[in-house]
Structure 1
Amino acid sequence: MTISFLTYAMAAVFAFAPAAARAEWQALEEVRPYSISGKTGAELYESIGARGPEAGTSRAIAHTTFKLTWTRKYEPQGNACVITTNRPKLIITYTLPKPSAALPPAVEGSWNAFIAGVHAHERVHGDTIKAMVKEIEAMSIGLTVADDPACKKIRIELTRRLGEISQRQRQSGRDFDKIELGDGGNIQQLILKLVNGP
């Protein structure tokens, strides 16, 4: 069986919740498997199409989501307002398929190569999320808005800047997916090897 087009797009879904200091922090990264079945590569891929995470009107092979919250402190300084504390808490979740039963040895080899490639793809999305959080942290710690003793204007300015950074991160993810999922792209090649294998 040959598949010439990627039927099930991968998706990076982003949930953004505001609030950083220059202390070191680490993202918590977790894998959330979903169960699929099959004894051949083609059957496994068909099961992914039926059970994969929803991505718009279709289903994805895998996706990356995150939850981002901040501990943030605004301090009036004279007639200005300054962000003096900005600590992120970032949880990244990779949703990946996992066969529900042992696979025949030849299929297991094909599967392991496929899922390693898919996981590597999703980790690139995770890296762009971590880079976004670091950019937000660098931009916002020490951010000062003049003539704002009640620390209201600074929140509006911060929200504007966060929106710009978030949009750049999302576009980066879309650009990466366009290459990876496009005709002849890495993910399409992984799918073809799985489906046309044992």
Structure 2
Amino acid sequence: MRLLPLVVLLLVANVASAYDLPTFVHYAIHGTTDRELGNAMRSLGPADPTGKRYPGHAEWNVSWTYRWQSQGNRCLLTSPSVQLKGTITLPRWEDRDRANPELQERWDRFLAALTVHEQGHFAYGVAAADELRRQFVSVKSNKGCAALATEVDRLGRAIIEEYQQRDRQYDVDTAHGLTQDAVL
């Protein structure tokens, strides 16, 4: 899968989009063997809603604001704005200098693959924000501004849900990064 670029600012078709790069958060793990590192990530890694822990995690949040212009019963969006924020959580190996060089090399490959996997999750947030930006350009209402506001919020929630589902499917398709070599 091609990762979408992590864009910081786009101005396209009169819709402002502020895309922050994800914030990287690290949790400390200790050990000098792959078994110790694996155990540390299984006990300290970020947990999903069921309590299952993984070596890494990405989350994203897309929000939007807008203004409108009323012309009788007709209402148009005049300044829609889409924002994206996200966090990627990864392990930080504290005992690296005490481990053998072969394990250090495997760790480097693992961490690089895990980072790519988690950035792949964030890319769904970028795609959702881009889709909102594209869709908001054409939203209008002939039933007044209250109807426009309802439509914008309905459309926004539907797009977010669609990309959240794609994000969940990404883990299924990649076996939580295993098919991308995110394994120690």
The normalised TM-score by structure 2 is 0.82
Q: 3-state SS of the aligned residue for 2:96?
A: coil
Distance 1:68 1:26 in 2: 9
- State whether structure 2 residue 68 is matched by structure 1 residue 74: yes
Q: Percent of aligned positions with the same letter in both sequences?
A: 25
In structure 1, the gaps of 5 or more residues are: 1-19
* 8 Å contact from structure 2 (residues 64, 80) kept in 1: yes
* Distance apart, 1:21 and its partner CA: 4.1
- State whether structure 2 residue 112 is matched by structure 1 residue 112: no
Residue 10 of structure 2 is matched in structure 1 by none
Q: 3-state SS of the aligned residue for 2:159?
A: helix
Residue 167 of structure 1 is matched in structure 2 by 161
RMSD value over aligned CA atoms? Answer: 2.2
Structure possessing the higher relative contact order (Cα contacts under 8 Å, 6 or more residues apart):
1
**Which deviations, in whole Å up to 9, do the C-alpha atoms of 1:18-57 show, x marking residues without a partner?**
xx94346433222111111111111111100110112122
Residue 8 of structure 2 is matched in structure 1 by none
Distance 1:23 1:162 in 2: 15
Residue 6 of structure 1 is matched in structure 2 by none
Q: 3-state SS of the aligned residue for 2:36?
A: helix
* 8 Å contact from structure 1 (residues 80, 146) kept in 2: yes
* Distance apart, 1:66 and its partner CA: 2.1
- State whether structure 2 residue 135 is matched by structure 1 residue 135: no
The normalised TM-score by structure 1 is 0.77
Distance 1:43 1:124 in 2: 27
* Distance apart, 1:145 and its partner CA: 1.0
* 8 Å contact from structure 2 (residues 117, 182) kept in 1: no
- State whether structure 2 residue 122 is matched by structure 1 residue 126: yes
Give 4+ residue runs of structure 1 displaced > 3 Å after superposition.
23-26
Residue 36 of structure 1 is matched in structure 2 by 29
Distance 1:77 1:90 in 2: 31
Distance 2:163 2:43 in 1: 29
In structure 2, the gaps of 5 or more residues are: 1-12
Paired residue type of 2:46: P
* 8 Å contact from structure 1 (residues 85, 141) kept in 2: no
Q: Cα 1:133–1:24, aligned 2, differ >3 Å: closer, same or farther?
A: closer
Residue 17 of structure 1 is matched in structure 2 by none
Paired residue type of 2:117: H
**Which deviations, in whole Å up to 9, do the C-alpha atoms of 1:56-106 show, x marking residues without a partner?**
221122111123333311221221221111122322211111112334222
